[in-house]
Amino acid sequence: MKNDHSAVLSAHPLDPLSIAEIEAACKIVRDAKALGPRCRFPYVYLDEPSKSEVLAFKPGMPYSRKAFVLVLDKATGATYESLVDLRVAEVVSWRALDTEVTGQAPIMVEEFDLCVKIVQEDPEWRAAVKRRGLTDEDIANVQIDPWSFGYFGDEERYRGRRLMRGVAFYRDVITDNGYAHPIEGLVAIIDLNEEKVIDLLDDGRNVPIPKTKRNYDTPSLGAPRDGLKPLHITQPEGVTFSVDGWRVSWQNWDFRVGFTPREGLVLHNLSYHDGEEVRPIIYRASVTDMGVPYSSDELNHFWKCAFDGGEYGLGRLANSLELGCDCLGAIRYFDVPAVNDLGEAFVMKNAICMHEEDYGTLWKHYEFRTGVFEMRRSRRLVISFFCTVANYDYGFFWYLYQDGTIQLEAKLTGIIQTAALVPGEVQNGGKVAADIYGPSHQHFFSARLHMMVDGEQNSVVETDFHPRPVGEGNRYGNVFDAVTTTFKNELDACREANGQTGRFWKIINPNVRNAAGNHPGYKLVAEQNPVMLAQPGSYFHQRAGFASKHVWVTRYSPGERYGSGEYPNQHKGGDGLPAYVKQNRSIENQDLVLWHTFGHTHICKPEDFPVMPVEYVGFKLKPNNFFAANPAMDLPGGKDSKSVSASGGSGSSCCHSAK
Ligand code: ABN
Ligand code: CU
């Protein structure tokens, strides 16, 4: 590799771009393409090197270092994908997108503010809110939610434009919770590049604005309940994990932490030290999008179908946990280098949080005949981040356990989208207060698991349980059979969960056998499996096609990265998983990606308001024929267990930093 550019500060090909690399990438593109002042940088991230390069890498070896830079010229609406080779400080590829086909670049943070200004200044919109009883002074406090436009056919006046919808909420003072005061029946359609409202949709009903305050900031909540005694979690001897740059080792696990603006946290090269062997399990794991289609026919809501990953960016909107952490114990934070819309690098302080947690019983037995009593406590490593996408807050928590289990838990909290009740009308949603309801909706997460169980060639099998008919071999009617099929091609593997047959899926390595003669594998334990309720022909169904199945399996192809496709913003639909599997490639004994859709159908209720308690959704991957025995038999027990000690005494404070 020639000309090692001074900006390159990484130690491994998968390290996220450093601050210097981000700055260099933006400058190289800006200079090479003479970008004007209205050019923006919706994406700047590591262009991950090929899998073969990563797997062949050994410390000290040269490796490639490229940045993917998406440029949006607000003056013309032109959008360009570029690749910058940081080693030679050159733009090595530059391609204009036909955004009517590809979809628009994701919504940028500056467009959140821009949308408020554009709408608040629009004379027609001002007149419309005044008809609903607001004054000029009130308007400065009105909250405008910056909604992705969606797609509802090729209407001529919308074609080729970068659009957004603005929905309004009254606030008496700027710090009020606007979601308690929805302004119904009024939607502004904004051209973000022309910076103007191009359509104002007003149902003319002038529905009264709910005015009861439902604030949740500490002063508004008043005196808290009392009686809670301190609960301390301490690790007086320090933490069990070790961190080297972006690499983490803990209790036989080994992986690298990554982070992208769209997906947020990524786990790379997840492997397990099994005796002398380092056994790969997952090459790359992430949540590639989260789509939320709403169930409503109302003007303010019928078009709502947010892709919080692909349209907004789960990583880009990550919380900095500087202000107080969400986790207890000895925390190790990762600061994540990031970039703003102008191409200026900054550090997302404490964006990723990692710590250990006690998790109760791992294994236990009391041998009543001999009095032998053994139990081992379970501990898990938690790697997480939280993001806020306007009203909702999502936590993404990866857990690794000592028994080889891998888990992803998404935590859904924040504030529901609200609507004002029209007196005397029945609405499609759940009432949360006397004059407010929450339109029903679904949350669909698309996890992408590039599997590598004991090697690069894997297969996926599906098992259903069937009760065996009474007869020979089942005289008493108690026998059931497990029927297992191996998926051959991609179109065979677009599957739905089936509670009645107890269906499950395993990723196996058909080229290896364990001591019992079985192929080592990991079982996908699917937990929350809503199905897409929007009609198959609907725009929502087309645009969030990934949500029509719970499991998809694709042959690995580096360009197939997101369940909902590359650019869901204003995309007409059909991209992502439904397009990938149309190729119907062979998936038996191949380099495979397992995709899992999971989520939650949300019928709102008063308990969700003003801020909803966390709803947990996710999945597990459990070793199945992978280990020769319970891999946690060697855990220390009794007094040596190093596990939590409970006491009634006082302890030291929680939430301190791990070194
Ligand atoms: N949570 C989706 C969203 C984005 C922008 C504005 C409102 C809601
Ligand atoms: Cu919800």
Cα 264 from Cα 410, distance rounded (Å): 12
pLDDT of residue 638: 77
CA distance 250 to 357: 12
Which ligand sits nearest to residue 609's alpha carbon?
2
Residues 503-551: pLDDT tens digits?
Answer: 999 999 999 999 899 999 999 999 978 999 999 999 999 999 999 999 9
| E strand or H helix that includes residue 27 | helix 19-32
Under the phi-then-psi rule, with left for phi > 0, alpha for psi from -120 to 50, and beta for the rest, what region is 518? beta
Looking at the fold, whether 561 and 622 belong to one and the same domain comes out as: yes
* Nearest partner of 67 among 104, 42, 92, judged by Cα: 92
Identify whether 420 is part of a domain. yes
Asked if residue 57 and residue 124 are part of one domain, the reply reads no
Residue 449 predicted with pLDDT over 50: yes
Residue 317 has pLDDT above 80, yes or no: yes
Nearest to 653, CA basis, from 322, 356, 330, 359: 330
Give percent above pLDDT 90 in the chain: 90
> In this structure, is residue 289 part of a structural domain?
yes
* Of 292, 299, 601, residue with least CA distance to 420: 299
Residue where a domain terminates, one of 186, 221, 256? 221
Testing ligand 1's pocket by substitution, the residue of 391, 392, 441 carrying the most ligand atoms inside 8 A of its CB is: 391
Together in a domain, 585 and 538: yes
What distance in angstroms lies between residue 312's CA and the mean position of ligand 1's atoms? 8
Q: Does position 327 have pLDDT exceeding 90, yes or no? A: no
Residue 636 or residue 656, greater confidence: 636
Among 9-18, 68-77, 140-149, which stretch is predicted with the lowest mean pLDDT?
Answer: 9-18
Query: What letter would DSSP give residue 203?
Result: -
Q: Write out the two tokens for 609.
A: 């308001």
When pLDDT is cut at 50, 70 and 90, the band that residue 447 belongs to is very high
- Of the candidates 59, 48, 9, which has an alpha carbon nearest to the alpha carbon of residue 556? 48
pTM recorded for the entire structure: 0.96
Ligand nearest 438 Cα, by number?
2
Task: Single out the residue of 505, 526, 509 nearest to residue 518, CA to CA.
Answer: 509
Looking at the domain assignment, is residue 472 inside a domain? Answer: yes
List the structure tokens of 281: 């399990």
Mutate to test the pocket of ligand 1, among 289, 307, 389 (most ligand atoms within 8 A of CB): 389
pLDDT digits (tens, 9 = 90+) for 369-406: 999 999 999 999 999 999 999 999 999 999 999 999 99
Residues involved in catalysis: 308, 392
Same domain, 489 and 563: yes
Pocket test for ligand 1, best of 417, 418, 444, 445 (most atoms within 8 A of CB): 417
Is the pLDDT confidence value at 102 over 70?
yes
Whole-number Cα distances in Å, 98 to 104, 391, 622: 9, 31, 43
Distance 390 CA to ligand 1 centre (A): 5
**Distance (Å, whole) CA 561 – CA 565:** 7
Write down which residue in 62, 97, 132 finishes a domain. Answer: 97
Contact 523, 504 (CB under 8 A): yes
Considering the domain architecture, whether residues 442 and 578 belong to the same structural domain is answered as: yes
Measured from the Cα of 392, ligand 1's closest atom is 1
Protein residue closest via CA to atom 3 of ligand 1:
390
Instruction: Say which CATH number the domain at 39 has.
Output: 3.10.450.40
* Nearest-angstrom CA–CA distance, 544 and 581: 15
Measured CA to CA, the distance from residue 543 to residue 365 in angstroms comes to 51
The pLDDT assigned to 645 comes to 55
Amino acid at 647: S
Pocket test for ligand 1, best of 147, 187, 289, 445 (most atoms within 8 A of CB): 147
Strand partners, 363: 376
pLDDT of residue 4: 40
The confidence score (pLDDT) of residue 650 equals: 37
Residues whose beta carbon lies within 6 Å of some atom of ligand 1: 145-147, 306, 308, 389-392
Residue 649 falls inside a structural domain? no
Nearest ligand to the C-alpha atom of residue 441: 2
Using the mean position of ligand 2's atoms as its centre, give its distance from the Cα of residue 415 in Å: 8
109-121 and 123-131 helices, crossing angle to 10°: 70
Distance from Cα 647 to the centre of ligand 2, integer Å: 39
Model confidence over 188-229: pLDDT tens digits?
A: 999 999 999 999 999 999 999 999 999 999 999 999 999 999
Q: Choose between 136 and 325: higher pLDDT.
A: 136
Q: Note the pLDDT tens digit of each residue in 575-634.
A: 999 999 999 999 999 999 999 999 999 999 999 999 999 999 999 999 999 999 999 999
Count how many domains the chain has: 3
Same structural domain, 283 and 313: yes
* 446-465 mean pLDDT: 98
Q: Please, which residues have CB less than 5 A from ligand 2, an ion?
A: 602
Q: Determine, yes or no, domain membership for 523.
A: yes
At 653 the pLDDT is: 34
User: Residue 38 Cα, ligand 1 centroid: separation in angstroms?
Assistant: 25
Q: Examine the domain organization and report whether 600 and 556 are in the same domain.
A: yes
Based on the domain organization, do 85 and 124 belong to the same domain? no
Q: How far apart are CA 254 and CA 442, in angstroms?
A: 35
Q: Ligand 1 mean position to 485 CA, how many Å?
A: 41
Does residue 216 contact residue 637 with C-beta atoms inside 8 Å?
no
Q: Residue 310 maps to which CATH number?
A: 2.70.98.20
| Mean of pLDDT values over 61-83 | 97
Whether pLDDT at 87 is above 80: yes
30 phi-psi bin (left φ>0, alpha ψ -120 to 50, beta other): alpha
Together in a domain, 461 and 603: yes
Same domain, 434 and 567: yes
Confirm whether 125 is domain-assigned: yes
What is the Å distance from ligand 1's center to 450 Cα? 29
Range of the domain at 76: 19-97
* 383 and 480 both lie in a single domain: yes
Dist CA 416 CA 435 (whole Å): 15
- The answer to whether position 659 is within a domain reads no
In a domain, 300, yes or no: yes
Query: Which atom of ligand 1 is found nearest the CA of 311?
Result: 4
Do residue 490 and residue 469 come from a single domain? yes
The protein residue whose alpha carbon is closest to atom 8 in ligand 1 is 390
Q: Where does residue 572 rank: exposed (0-12), middle (13-18), buried (19+ CB within 10 A)? A: middle
| DSSP track, 303-329 | T-EEEIIIII-TTTTBPPGGG--SS-S
